[in-house]
Amino acid sequence: MIVFDLGCENSHRFEGWFSSSEDFEQQLGRKLVSCPLCGDANIVRLPHALRINKSAGKERGRTAADIERRQYANVGAENLTKLIEHIVENTEDVGPAFPEEARKIHYNESPDRRIRGTASRAEVEALKDEGIDVVALPIPAHLQGKAH
Ligand SMILES: [Zn+2]
């Protein structure tokens, strides 16, 4: 069994028990999951507080995200490098504070701006679960740690 922290559109939080993450996705897709407090069927998965703070390395059970395939595009390395350079020039490097800062910006606790930094896969998953849009950046070695 897997326990997921779930939330509805009315900001109620509750736990859902499922036999697997596939089972959860299926039930969610068929709107079989609803909020026990208000019956809302627009349910989202919330980040597991424990998982966010846990150091990476030990993986408990594979989730759908673990077997997710990475994305590729046939844009050519040069175009990609230009795009990355543009992103690097137009974002503030917050380093390992990225997940925390991205969350603060999302909840209007920090000034709205574009940032970049490092995050673990679990942290990125948690951000996405909260509706915070982040993308993985394949930053070339010569741009890594570049000050601006
Ligand atoms: Zn509710």
Question: C-alpha angle with apex 131: 105 to 69, nearest 5 degrees?
Answer: 120
Instruction: Measure the CA–CA gap between 105 and 101, rounded to whole angstroms.
Output: 6
Which amino acid appears at position 130 of this protein?
Answer: E
**Distance, CA 14 to ligand 1 centroid (Å)?**
9
Distances (CA, A) of 108 to 1, 19, 89, 102, 112: 36, 36, 23, 10, 7
Going from the Cα of 12 to the center of ligand 1, the distance in angstroms, rounded, reads 5
- Ligand 1 centroid, distance to 131 Cα (angstroms): 17
Question: How much of the chain is in helix, strand and coil states, percent to nearest 5?
Answer: 35, 15, 50
End-to-end CA distance of the chain: 48
Ligand 1 centre to CA of 58 (Å) is: 33
How far is the centre of ligand 1, averaged over its atoms, from the C-alpha of 28 (Å)?
15
Are 50 and 133 spatial neighbours (Cβ–Cβ below 8 Å)? no
Residue spans of the chain under pLDDT 50 = 50-59
Q: What is the pLDDT of residue 115?
A: 92
Distance 54 CA to ligand 1 centre (A): 28
- Residue 74: its pLDDT value, please? 76
Q: Compute, in angstroms, the gap from residue 128 CA to the centroid of ligand 1.
A: 20
Residue from 3, 97, 102 nearest 49 by CA: 3
CA 147 to centroid of ligand 1, rounded, Å: 45
Q: Would you state the pLDDT for residue 70? A: 62
pTM across the whole model? 0.46
Q: Give the per-residue pLDDT at 57.
A: 46
